[in-house]
A = this chain, B = another copy of it.
Amino acid sequence: MNNLNVCLTPALIPLFDVENYIVVVIDIFRATSSISYGIENGAEAIIPVSEVEECFAYQDKFTHYLLAAERNGEVVAGFDFGNSPFSYTREKVSDKTIVLTTTNGTHALQRSIKAKKVIIGSFLNLTSVCNWLKDQQEDILLVCAGWKNNFNLEDTLFAGAVVDQLKPAGFVLDDAAIAAYDLFQIGKGDISAYLKKTSHSERLKALGIEADIEFCLQTDLTTAIPILKGEKLIKLL
């Protein structure tokens, strides 16, 4: 039987031999949701970077790349758009390469880079990701991007949603996978309400992204699975 493990924050990635796993990177609000939606809508590639300056370095070399960056909820001056999934519509991103600044999401991706494969998960492509994972016959590590290296509920709930779908296939779960699964059972009836009842929702309100949040919590709106090839996220299927 294969292992299904959950890494609750990027700070814990060194505890796992990532080269033995297929890694699913999870940053529900909003990086991996926006990436899933962008790849679904025909983006040729999305390049996640940590710093705004790195975006400009790409554009110096590749003038046709689109740049996406927000700081404190505002699109950064000189950028094409921000990190909202609403920026990743077909008309905006089809056949385009986008350089996207994220903090938590990029950090999780960079620390997972030695894995057998690194794919991107979100509620938007949940079932598609789970069906693909079931076919791989590999150990799976669900990496929650978290919040500044600490645990967060939304990424863990999504990990629990994946465990919920994969569990009947007979994986061996670690303690974090069991906890994520149990938390998802509590929250799944109304994930948005579950996240709102928490003090945690103050952080989300402070970001001023309520509409984005509702969008990111939609299940199975898309089927595309982004996969990391070199520095680029492209469409696996």
Contact = CB atoms under 8 A, between A and B. Distances in A.
A150 interface: yes
B186 A199 contact: no
Interface in A1-40: 8-9, 11-12, 15
Copies of this chain, complex-wide, total 2
A147 interface: yes
Interface string A179-205: 100110110000000000011100000
Interface residues of A, number: 27
A179 B151 contact: yes
Nearest to A185: B186
20 contacts: A8-B8, A8-B151, A11-B11, A11-B12, A12-B149, A15-B148, A15-B149, A147-B175, A151-B176, A151-B179, A153-B175, A153-B178, A174-B200, A175-B200, A178-B198, A178-B200, A179-B179, A179-B183, A182-B186, A186-B186
